[in-house]
Amino acid sequence: MESVLRVENLTVSVGRVEVVHHIGFTLGARQRTGLIGESGSGKTLTALAIMGLLNEGLSATGQVIYRGTNLLELTDGEMCGLRGDRLAMIFQEPMTALNPVMKIGDQVAEPLTLHRGLRGKAAHAAALDALARVHLPDPLEKMRQYPHQLSGGQRQRAMIAMATACSPELLIADEPTTALDVTVQAQILDLLVELVEQEGSSLLLITHDLPVVATVCERVLVLYGGHIVEEGDVDEVFSRPRHPYTRALLDAIPPLDEELPDRKLKAIAGSVPGLGEFPPGCPFRNRCPRADDVCVVMPPLADGVACWHPLA
Amino acid sequence: MTLVFDVDHVSRRYLLPRTRMFGPRRTLSAVDDVTFQLHREETLGVVGESGSGKTTLMKLLLGLEKPDTGKITYSGNSLRREVQVVFQDPASALDPRMRVGDIILEPLRVLRIGGDHAARLAELMDAVGLPLAYARRYPHEFSGGQRQRIAIARALAPRPDVLIGDEPVSALDVSVRAQILNLLEDLRVGFQLTLILVSHDLSIVRHMTDRVLVMQHGRVVEEGPTRDVFRAPQHAYTRLLLESIPRLRVRGSRVAQVEQKQSRRD
Amino acid sequence: MKRRVSPTLLIGGALVIIVVATALISVVWTPSDPAHVEVPSRFKPPGTAGYLLGTDQLGRDEFSRIMAGARNTLLVGIVTVVIAMGVGVPLGGVAALRRGVLEDVTMRISDVLLAFPAVLLALMFAAVFNPSTITAMSAIGIALVPVFARVVRGAGLQILQQDYVTVTHTYGASGVWIFIRHLLPNVSPVLIVQATVAFAIAILAEAALSYLGLGTPPPTPSWGRMLSESQTLLDQAPWLAFWPGASIALAVLGFNLLGDGLRELLDPKLIERLPAQG
């Protein structure tokens, strides 16, 4: 399969502290990949590094290869040319991601103006088209409204319209449905799948919610403490997890179809350390029931799992 | 079983801000004609999306708001002492300027409950799994999960009979949620608590509760034993909720549904 | 906790310390008696032996008068701010706690006070009572009440929405309890900053009032009045305008900078986390 993005040896640092450690993965065309991580895992920083949106004080090294070019070596100007056009990202909080004092129509038209040179009526028509594609009800009316006049789900659709207006090759969605009601979440996930199929883009879905990845994605990467600890086909990883952290995440989800004895879930001790506060070696070792001395050295990612004592 | 709460046709309306100069203001029925009963040592789940009224219902039960119509009867002695709450956001649940020990003991001071406070503090911190030494620290020194434990300890201080959890784990990391849920279950059993769990997360409600209320637009659209409601939902909204939950085992169900929809459209 | 002690804070702090120290020292020692009139020594320029900053029109040592004037300045600042906070903070607290009619009434009273410039109030007071330091301080204090009322109400509203306050309602905490135990401690960083700014305003206001003859009457040294009196003597003894003017400016600057520096220090009082992205 043709690859859209190839990440190799990506390291993100905050000042001099490394928080994402030499990770690598490939995103294929028409492929939906889930990136699972909790707070402190480095999942959002990874996405921002790919998009060239890291804040002051943060830096990324390594290779992020898109169409033969290492994105990390491009200037901000060159990245601006790609962002919104070939590479797009949507965020968790539509209220803060949309400009509160700009009409919806103008915002959706912005990438079209910047990258396709459309103006006036042409831009308006293209924006309307983008909003229709995300099934926003009454798109003509909504274009004249401001973000606060739309519901959460509608704002998310508007943001997706903005991101997909130029038919990007890569769409990164960072917790796109976490702030939404469950019924709206289902609709938005459907929409993402539909758009990705239609446009043939590659989707990188970042979330902490495993069932969401299970229903939307084909491949999954599990991130903990800035390392990829497991990766593979979604069905495989979720039915036969090999890394203790993946197992722990799965155990933490109460099943919908049965009752557990004593109403107890299998929990792991401890809390997730803050960015940069993970122990050296395997980041999971101070919470892992299978850890021992050998784990002070970080196990390499081999055959889809990075663990000295994998399950199965 | 003894009755703890008897909620009888309760409604609570809010006046919306004025949109025109003259004429009556529009009202919003946050809670609309809700009736149910809660028995001792039962665990009740309240599920709903935003705008369902579950938060307002919780405030009514806590006595923070009064119903406009209908009546809520609490059959204990002192609502303020016996019904406590744990909120969703560990960041705003604890006064950043107070030490943890003082936070946990505050209810005792306000309610003027005497006794050996130091001993009680030790008991409570032990019950929630925190070392006593932590009592001298400030909230910002703790993680989200630990802060929820502190909030739970505070709620337990006056020896309540009823504990209401308003999305108690939604703001926590996934790997920490299980710990806190297990803790709540242990405490429920150990202290014979009546538990009300308000949540939008249906899998948690399924896991922890005996009975469930499904709310939409302020009304209770379905009520019953959790197992039954989840296996055979009667109301269309309940069915929609259950269908919308992403499931772990069924791979690609979203994709399959989308493809079905598309083929139907073509 | 990472704290940022900025140059602003240091400079402001240094200036304030100088003013306070000068005032305190002047209580026990000044180079000469500030009230000692010696007409033959009038208009001596700065640098003359025994008169570091020169003498004024009555032969009094300027340096001693400046030092004694610092006392007046500090007194005015402290009393004014105490009055303003003593009335403004509870007013703002009540407004935040008891929303509705009481809040509207308190804030409207506050608005009315805000509409009165301190000078106007001082004029009114002076017309009724004789102009004195006390009338000046009362006028300025009252004029500053709305500033504190607003700050406390604004910050208070935010604090009262936090879950930790809602929880206290569930076990029946009274408004007074919440005000003392939760509102005040959490509002205090903002209040401290506001107090330093109010101090600066008070000094300036008193100087203006004394300049107009509505403040501290002679013979008590007051920088504002000294400035006023020096107006007619500008060609004879320009330094008599410079010293009190510079003192006022530096004192006001010092308190303002202190306020800014404290705001930087106290505001982000949460731990400086690594950027909360992922």
Contacts of B143 in chain A (CB under 8 A): 271-272
Each residue of C5-39: pLDDT tens digit? 788 889 999 999 999 998 898 888 888 887 788 88
Query: Which residue, A18, A12, A14, A32, is CA-closest to A189?
Result: A32
Contact across the interface for A55 and C275, Cβ inside 8 Å = yes
Q: Which amino acid does the sequence have at A100? A: P
The arithmetic mean of pLDDT across residues C49-65, rounded, is: 83
Residues of chain B with C-beta less than 8 angstroms from the C-beta of C162:
92, 95
Token pair, residue C170, equals: 């569930």
Task: Please answer yes or no on whether B244 and A234 come within 8 Å at the CB atom.
Answer: no
- Check if the beta carbon of residue B212 is closer than 8 Å to that of residue B45: yes
Residues of A with Cβ-Cβ distance to B245 under 8 angstroms: 182, 186, 211, 256
CB nearest to A38's CB, from B49, B173, B178: B173
Which chains are adjacent to chain A, needing at least 3 Cβ pairs under 8 Å? Answer: B, C
pLDDT band per the 50, 70, 90 thresholds, residue C276: very low
**Partners for C (CB, 8 Å, 3+ pairs)?**
A, B
pLDDT band at B183 (very low <50, low <70, confident <90, very high): very high
Q: Is residue C231 pLDDT above 60, yes or no? A: yes
Tell me the C-alpha to C-alpha distance, in Å, between residue A122 and each of A115, A118, C194. 13, 6, 53
The predicted-structure confidence for A267-287, as pLDDT tens digits, reads as follows 888 888 877 788 889 999 988
Tell me which chain C residues have a C-beta less than 8 angstroms from the C-beta of A172: none
Contact residues, chain A to chain C, C-beta under 8 Å:
14, 17, 19, 37, 39-48, 55, 57-58, 206, 274-276
Q: Give the tokens for residue C254.
A: 């010092």
Residues 30-59 of C with CB under 8 A from A: none
Chain A residues 217-246 within an 8 A CB cutoff of chain B: 218, 234-235, 238-239, 245
Per-residue pLDDT for A2 more than 60?
yes
Percent of chain A with pLDDT over 90: 70
Asked if A215 contacts B250 with a C-beta cutoff of 8 angstroms, the reply is yes
* CB-based contact B134:B102 (threshold 8 Å): no
Taken in order A178, A180, A184, A190, is the CA torsion positive or negative? negative
Beta-strand pair B162-166/B3-15:
unpaired
| Residue-wise pLDDT tens digits, A122-147 | 999 999 999 999 999 999 999 999 99
Which residue among B64, B83, B140 sits closest to C271, beta carbon to beta carbon? B140
pLDDT band, very low/low/confident/very high, at B139 (cuts 50, 70, 90): very high
What does A248-296 look like in DSSP terms, one character per residue?
A: HHHHTSPPSSS--GGG-----SS-PPPTT-SPSSSTTTTT-TT--GGGG
Whether residue B65 lies within 8 A of chain C, CB to CB, comes out as no
Which tens digit of pLDDT belongs to each residue from B84-110?
A: 999 999 989 999 999 999 999 999 999
Give how far the C-alpha of residue B64 lies from the chain's centroid of Cα atoms, to the nearest Å.
14
